[in-house]
Amino acid sequence: MILISGRGSNMQAIVERCAPARIAAVIGNRAEAAGLRFARERGIPAEVVEHRDFPSRATFEQALSAAIERKRPDLVVLAGFMRVLGEAFVQRYEGRLLNIHPSLLPAFPGLNTHRRALEAGVKVHGCTVHFVTAAVDHGPIVIQAAVPVLAGDTEESLGARVLAQEHRIYPLAVRWFLDGRLAVDRGIVRVRGECEPQFLLAPP
């Protein structure tokens, strides 16, 4: 199950690189989310749970949970899903709810990560796949990828290189989960067996 809010480029990477895994459905919280069309064109069930139709976050999340439960997925993947999820929802899917964030967590949680990285003068930046907890942009880290920050970088150029790495590591994390290879011990994620490293460094 994949949740999206927009074009769903990470969703597309997962669909294309995680075969033969079956995507139970794609759910968008905005009817205009372009990723819904991508899913439908590939025969993946796609539906909308429009957050603007509900009077509160709690009622929206109840409807979202109901839509998820109808499909009974093994894993719920947030792929550009731009809604903060409440504690009750997160606890319901604890241990099977993944997110990707465009920074090397715990650095730069929240929004505008590329701008903040440039303003801070960091020399490396990147992205993180993590299990979702009630604390926003926290939770056990599954895999990270780093890119160098280059002289003359803008938010757009840095963001584009980070996004390429997101498309690389998110499908890996999903495959590891579905293969039963992820174990969390006291907040640390280990991957069982021989596999790609949990930290990747992209060339300039």
Shared domain check, 106 and 89: no
Q: Hey, which residues are catalytic here?
A: 101
Cis ω before 106 (30° cut-off from 0): yes
CATH number at residue 168: 3.40.50.170
Q: Are residues 107 and 187 in the same domain?
A: yes
- With a pLDDT cut of 90, the percent of the chain lying above it is 94
Same domain, 78 and 148: no
Measured in Å, how far apart are the chain's first and last C-alpha atoms? Answer: 34
Total tally of structural domains belonging to the chain: 2
Domain boundary among 58, 93, 128: 93
Give CA–CA dist 68/161, Å, rounded.
32
Which residue's entry shows tokens 């997110």?
A: 99
Q: Based on the domain organization, do 188 and 126 belong to the same domain?
A: yes
Question: Binning pLDDT at 50, 70 and 90, where does residue 97 land?
Answer: very high
* 85/105 same-domain check: no
Question: Average pLDDT for residues 24-50, to the nearest whole number?
Answer: 97
Percent of all residues in the chain with a pLDDT value above 70, rounded to a whole number: 100
- What is the average pLDDT score of the chain? 96
How far, in Å, CA of 8 to CA of 14, rounded? Answer: 10
pLDDT tens-digit series, residues 149-204: 999 999 999 999 999 999 999 999 999 999 999 999 999 999 998 777 899 888 87
> In terms of domains, do 137 and 55 share one?
no
Which domain-ending residue is among 38, 63, 93?
A: 93
CA distance 203 to 148: 7
Range of the domain at 138: 101-204
Do 114 and 30 have their domain in common? no
Q: Which two tokens stand for residue 127?
A: 């992205």
Residue 46 has pLDDT above 80, yes or no: yes
Q: Are residues 64 and 160 in the same domain?
A: no
Q: What is the DSSP secondary-structure string of 184-201?
A: EETTEEEE-SS-S-SEEE
**Do 202 and 137 belong to one domain?**
yes
pLDDT at position 193 is 87
The tokens for 157 are: 């150029």
Q: Which residue, of 93, 127, 142, is where some domain finishes? A: 93
